[in-house]
Amino acid sequence: MISKVEPLVTIIILNWNKWQDTVECLASLSHLTYPNYRIVLVDNNSLNDSVTQIKAFLTGQRVEGIQTHFSQLVERPDMTKLQFMIQKIDNYPFDYSSFQDDSGQHLWLLLSENLGFARANNLAIAIASQLYNPDYFFLLNNDTVVEPDAVTHLVTAMTSDATIAAAQPVIYYYSNPVQIANAGGIILPWGQTRYYTKIRAHTWQKITFINGCALFLRRETIEKFGALTERFFFAEEDFEYSLRLKRQRARAICVADSKIYHKIGASEIAQNIERKVVLFAVNRLVDLKHYYVPIIWRFWASLSLLYFWGLLFFKYRVGWKKSANLISEARQWVHQVSEVDKDTVMAILRRGVQ
């Protein structure tokens, strides 16, 4: 698998209870045409039989319950390209200085607690840096299916211009693979994002918002600008990182010929839209509190909360009074916390459970 010519890419995938998605994603990665990559699979302390099921798949056993829209990309996985060494991690921070590279194998980290998206990815980045010293990191959602040449096109674009700090593939809907979900986007002045849904073939386009579903980073980008913020347990990491790069005038692109398919909204948190909007409003306002001076932030926060109210009322058809109450709740949370950790996320979500 390892080539002495092509830059080394570390692909990081998190699993939490969604082993069916993870197995499908790994199967598609086994067909990558790019020859020089290592996968770091992280199980974020799944509460179901994810570890058993994934292990069964990796050892060549038949795994029941896997359905796919992409049989041509997933069936008959090349198991010779899915050889993993397993490492259990019980203590944080973890001392990874004793890790030894077992040539030709990927790495599967079994965590003893759910660290959330950012902390788990950052742990994988730190271990991969020590173990593999890759040129690029590809943070990839487990609920995706990847085209065989997706990584090749990302590496080609990045190596063509050393000033590009980050990139992403074009993300298509898993349920409608001819429709673009996003080709990156831009950060708007009122703290929201707008996705591009068109891109010309065989090109790449400049973006200021990089979707965290498939974030491709140069090693030097992390060394210069840091890893993901750990102030948020769920969501917001990609916005904060995109904003950080934008403020430093670092370049980011979307690569037209690199394609993946994403199960949009597949997470359990996405199922309750009212609580999701409250959580995202809290995330965004807490995030921007770190970037604006207080007097500007207060003015901006009022406009942003009005936007979230409109999102509930006009787009999601939540009643006027209930929308107002939800936004009032978000405002209270924002004034109480400086980070949205696991306990805060769970508290916000559970307020909707009667």
**Angstrom distance (rounded) from CA 117 to CA 202:** 32
For residues 43 and 19, is the Cβ–Cβ distance under 8 A?
no
Which DSSP string do the residues of 96-131 spell out, in sequence order? Answer: -TT----TT-EEEEEESS--HHHHHHHHHHHHHHHH
Say what the pLDDT of residue 210 is: 98
Q: Output the tens digit of pLDDT for each of the chain's 354 residues.
A: 444 579 999 999 999 999 999 999 999 999 999 999 999 999 999 999 999 999 999 998 877 777 899 999 999 999 999 999 999 998 887 777 767 766 678 999 999 999 999 999 999 999 999 999 999 999 999 999 999 999 999 999 999 999 999 999 999 999 999 999 999 999 998 788 999 999 999 999 999 999 999 999 999 999 999 999 999 999 999 999 999 999 999 999 999 999 999 998 655 444 589 999 999 999 999 999 999 999 999 999 999 999 999 999 999 999 999 999 999 999 999 999 999 999 999 999 987 654
φ and ψ of 55, to 5 deg = -60, -40
φ and ψ of 216, to 5 deg = -110, 115
**How far is Cα of residue 240 from the mean position of the Cα atoms in its chain?**
12
Say what the pLDDT of residue 129 is: 93
Alpha carbon distances (Å) from 79 to 2, 56, 110, 261: 16, 12, 20, 22
Alpha-carbon dihedral sign for residues 285, 289, 293, 295: positive
Say what the pLDDT of residue 190 is: 77
The model carries a pTM of 0.94
